Amino acid sequence: MKEIEFIRKLFTIPYKHRGRGYDGADCYGLIILFYRDFLGIELLDVYQDYDESWAFKSNKNYFLENYHKQFEKISLPRIYDIILFQNKKGIANHGGVVLQNGKFIHCSKDGVSINRYNDEDFKRKFNGFYRYKNGL
């Protein structure tokens, strides 16, 4: 399947907190679907044992700490790398897949969208780019 066809399919996915399928996904669910169904790479679900209340009380960056098992931080992104954003506490809480021309695809409560990562709102929340350690 071509990238554009696959991305069109992703736009039909509604937002669902901790969703991991075409019936509903959150930002990491969309990343898992993209990597599995378009790139043929099975990612670990870093949220399997995640307790949201514990993480917020302890200010632990669970998402980012567990991300490093599969990804390494990089300075210059390539297509299909991951981009992460953080909240005001510095905790990574949103991510997407890098596309061409400074764009990325992600899923938020508004659904799946493509945005430019150098837009002001995203620049303020930018955490970093990450590359899958086992190569694409």
Cβ count within 10 A of residue 48: 8
Residue 1's pLDDT is 74
pLDDT (0 to 100) of residue 92 = 83
Using alpha carbons, select from 12, 46, 6 the residue that is nearest to residue 29. 46
Averaged pLDDT score across all residues of the chain: 87
Q: Are 82 and 71 in contact (CB under 8 A)?
A: yes
Whether the per-residue pLDDT at 66 is higher than 90: the answer is no
pTM: 0.86
Residues 100-126 pLDDT 10s? 999 999 999 999 999 999 999 999 999
Residue bearing the bigger pLDDT, 22 or 87: 22
- Model pLDDT, residue 22: 97
Locate 52 and state its tokens: 């949201």
Residue 71: CB partners within 8 Å, gap ≥ 6? 82, 130, 131, 132, 133
Please give the average per-residue pLDDT across 67-73, as a whole number. Answer: 78
The whole-number average pLDDT for the span 44-52 is: 62
Q: 95 has which bridge partners?
A: 84
33 has pLDDT over 70: yes
Query: Which residues make Cβ contacts (< 8 Å) with residue 111, sequence separation at least 6?
Result: 11, 13, 14, 15
Across the range 3-27, mean pLDDT stands at 95
CA distance 128 to 42: 22
- pLDDT of res. 45: 82
Going by C-alpha positions, the residue among 36, 59, 63 that lies closest to residue 47 is: 63
CATH number of 3-132: 3.90.1720.10
Instruction: Please state, in angstroms and rounded to a whole number, the distance separating the CA atoms of residues 117 and 129.
Output: 11
